[in-house]
Amino acid sequence: EPEVTQTPSHQVTQMGQEVILRCVPISNHLYFYWYRQILGQKVEFLVSFYNNEISEKSEIFDDQFSVERPDGSNFTLKIRSTKLEDSAMYFCASSDINSNQPQHFGDGTRLSIL
Amino acid sequence: RKEVEQDPGPFNVPEGATVAFNCTYSNSASQSFFWYRQDCRKEPKLLMSVYSSGNEDGRFTAQLNRASQYISLLIRDSKLSDSATYLCVAHGSSNTGKLIFGQGTTLQVKP
């Protein structure tokens, strides 16, 4: 069964540094998403991306965050200057056909900010 | 009011028991609903979509009541492997695919 893959599985970074989280969505999917889950809390939407542009972003997704699909297969989330409160599990997801379809999640990147 | 609200549990049940989880959502414009399962520190995995007519997948039955803005999941003949957190999920009202997650209900099935 095709799956969403994410790298790295765990990223440890000093506060103020830039991080890039990488995702390879399922190949025929058209809609891409990032979510995050702070330990012990619910999964929160960050951003949706379709047709090479952001279609919706949450309040969390401020100007420190950006997304890119540079080569037609990878989908990246960049955090420019990390804060302690960015420590969380970051999940990438994708869906096909239309945005109402179920989303398939990657196994996540655990981001730890020191 | 939370956008998607669930009883966090935990629900502790013996193997073979039937257990039901409930969920309410606040946005009447939400169109699609799902139950996901999340094991400890893992990604959410789709369990099933939820339709107004009700739908069943093996031991799992999901129901949606749009008038009451209420979603349910019934698990029959619980197995040890059903132990997990069950996430009630609604699509946002925009057509961007944004998913809104409940906090999750924890199920522990004991031998």
Q: Do B44 and A43 touch (CB under 8 A)?
A: yes
Nearest residue, CB atoms, A42 vs list B91, B96, B101 = B101
- B55 in Cβ contact with B72 (< 8 Å): no
B71, β-bridge pairs: B23, B64
Q: What is the pLDDT of residues A30-54, one digit of tens each?
A: 999 999 999 999 999 999 999 999 9
pLDDT value at position A42? 96
φ, ψ at A84 (rounded to 5°): -55, -40
Task: Name which residue leads in pLDDT, B96 or A32.
Answer: A32
Interface test with A, best of B4, B48, B98, B105 (most A CBs within 10 A): B98
Q: What is the pLDDT of residues B16-65, one digit of tens each?
A: 999 999 999 998 888 889 999 999 989 999 999 998 888 999 999 999 99
Query: Could you tell me which of A82, A76, A81 has the C-alpha nearest to residue A111?
Result: A82
* Residue of chain A with shortest Cα separation from B2: A42
Distance, CA of B16 to CA of B52 (rounded, Å): 27
- B86 in Cβ contact with B102 (< 8 Å): no
Q: What is the pLDDT of residues A57-94, one digit of tens each?
A: 999 999 999 999 988 789 999 999 999 999 999 999 99
pLDDT value at position A59? 95
- How far from each other are the two terminal CA atoms of chain B, in whole angstroms? 37
Nearest residue, CB atoms, A45 vs list B31, B45, B99 = B99
Q: Please check whether residue A3 touches B, CB under 8 A.
A: no
pLDDT value at position B28? 87
Q: Do A103 and B99 touch (CB under 8 A)?
A: yes
pLDDT of A100 over the 80 cut: no
